[in-house]
Amino acid sequence: MNLSIKIRFIIYSFLNVFFIAGCSSPKTITFEKPVDTISKKILLQEKQLYKLSDVGVYASNQFDGARLNGFKKENDSTALVLINPENTPINNSAYYAFKVWSDSPKPFYFTFQYPKGYKHRYMPKLKINNKWSIIDSTQVFKQDSIVTIKLNLNKRPMIVAAQEVNSSTDVKNWYTNLVTGKENYVSIKSAGKSKLGRNLPVLDICIGDKKGKDVIVLLTRQHPPEVTGFFAFKEFLQTVLDETALSKEFLEKYHVIAFPIMNPDGVDLGHWRHNAGGVDLNRDWSVYNQPEIKKTIKFINKELKKNNSKLILGLDFHSTWYDVFYTNNETVNTTLPQFNEEWFNALENNIPNYKVNEHPEKSTKPVSKGWFLYAHNATGITYEIGDETPKGSIKLISKVSAEQMMNILLNK
């Protein structure tokens, strides 16, 4: 090796070592069934006002959280509502949200049209006079897989949506109001920015010194339409922060880190499931190709290192067809080997006529509950609420689950 080559090799080696030493990327975790989470192209909907001028009916997707890809007249009493996903392949979480109104009061029909292979999933929710409700089932008509709804229109726009719209701004307004007056033990922080530069907010919660205290992580909205899971997250966190004797004692012993909106780009873009990188974020808890996951993990790990703490429990709030708790098969050697059994028994004992639907499984794909287990030996649970679970039930189940979590952990 001549001198110049040797010098270049030494310089390259030094710079490479320096780069690796200075890089704070989190350690990757190996899963049995890896998933490709490299960014993929997405289809951006064109934001516009749609006019069916001859029948005096209008529609718009010009708001955060909207999803409307086309609006066409079928006949004088019916419009076709065209809904496409951000990219494919994708789960059948056919999300839609649009405003609609008319020149004069009239009944009008709307038929949903999806790409081949996808079909209607969510019962329409209506926002009328700033109040959300579920459409009357007598106004929903199904023929094979085609769904048509009947609405009574007037000049005042209503929102028609698969789930109640909760944009990143709505979420910010909620948690800002939630922590007002609690600033002495709740800090609003940021894990960084999303792929499109939106904030990734974090609520850092602890009474007193955080040094050496075990950590509980709460997170939600990896998948934009999963709003019932977000409702459960809200009630759960509000219970942790309700300043009862139980919550005060709990927060004196533990440190809670809560992420109220993991996918703000997908939420505001009206995505069916993915982020702005066209990726399911709950498949990226291995190599962290997407900034939302990478920055969340870096934030958690930094807090653990700074406070010489360990992560003992991670709850990830989602929605699916029905209420279910997805747990890890591996529990014996984890930080809380008896937690699942104790927690679920407590829920059944404190919620009238309630039966926990637990689905234990091995986390073979790179999902959050698997990351909690494999990266930190912590108990990880995917907390799923049904798409159409009533709000009253969500509030009760979530409140009791938070109270019983605190009771159980205070006895550890």
* Structural domain contains residue 151: yes
Are 223 and 278 members of one domain? yes
Cα separation, 359 vs 221, in Å, equals 21
pLDDT per residue of the chain (412 residues) written in tens, 0 to 9: 444 433 333 333 333 333 333 346 899 999 999 999 999 999 999 999 999 999 999 999 999 999 999 999 999 999 999 999 999 999 999 999 999 999 999 999 999 999 999 999 999 999 999 999 999 999 999 998 899 999 999 999 999 999 999 999 999 999 999 999 999 999 999 999 999 999 999 999 999 999 999 999 999 999 999 999 999 999 999 999 999 999 999 999 999 999 999 999 999 999 999 999 999 999 999 999 999 999 999 999 999 999 999 999 999 999 999 999 999 999 988 999 999 999 999 999 999 999 999 999 999 999 999 999 999 999 999 999 999 999 999 999 999 999 999 999 999 8
Are 179 and 270 members of one domain? yes
- CATH code for position 123: 2.60.40.3120
Dihedral of alpha carbons 301, 307, 310, 315, sign: negative
DSSP element (H, E) containing 345: helix 339-350
Pick from 221, 225, 226: which is nearest to 262 by CA?
221
- Residue 105 lies in domain: 49-161
* Structural domain contains residue 35: no
* Structural domain contains residue 9: no
Start-to-end C-alpha separation, the chain: 62
Are 272 and 372 members of one domain? yes
Are 212 and 357 members of one domain? yes
- How many domains would you assign to the chain? 2
The pair of structure tokens assigned to 179 is 């922590």
Are 180 and 103 members of one domain? no
Cα separation, 156 vs 342, in Å, equals 51
Contact 60, 48 (CB under 8 A): yes
Are 178 and 151 members of one domain? no
The neighbouring-strand residues paired with 383 are 317, 325
Going along 207-339, which residue ranges are E strands? Answer: 215-220, 255-259, 311-320, 324-328
* Structural domain contains residue 34: no
Are 211 and 126 members of one domain? no
Cα separation, 330 vs 336, in Å, equals 11
Phi and psi, residue 403, nearest 5°: -60, -45
Contact 226, 261 (CB under 8 A): no
pTM: 0.93
Are 180 and 244 members of one domain? yes
The neighbouring-strand residues paired with 127 are 132, 159
Q: Distances in Å between the alpha carbon of 49 and those of 59, 60, 157, 310, 368?
A: 6, 5, 12, 51, 39
Domain final residue, candidates 161, 196, 231: 161
The pair of structure tokens assigned to 134 is 């579920």
For residue 82, which amino acid is it? L
Are 149 and 226 members of one domain? no
* Structural domain contains residue 40: no
Confidence (pLDDT) at 6: 37
Cα separation, 266 vs 45, in Å, equals 12
Confidence (pLDDT) at 24: 63
Contact 373, 332 (CB under 8 A): no
Are 200 and 286 members of one domain? yes
Confidence (pLDDT) at 4: 42
Domain final residue, candidates 139, 161, 183: 161
Domain final residue, candidates 120, 145, 161: 161
Confidence (pLDDT) at 22: 39
* Structural domain contains residue 311: yes
Cα separation, 270 vs 274, in Å, equals 10
Contact 286, 30 (CB under 8 A): yes
* Structural domain contains residue 373: yes
Strand 199-205 with 311-320, pairing: unpaired
Confidence (pLDDT) at 3: 40
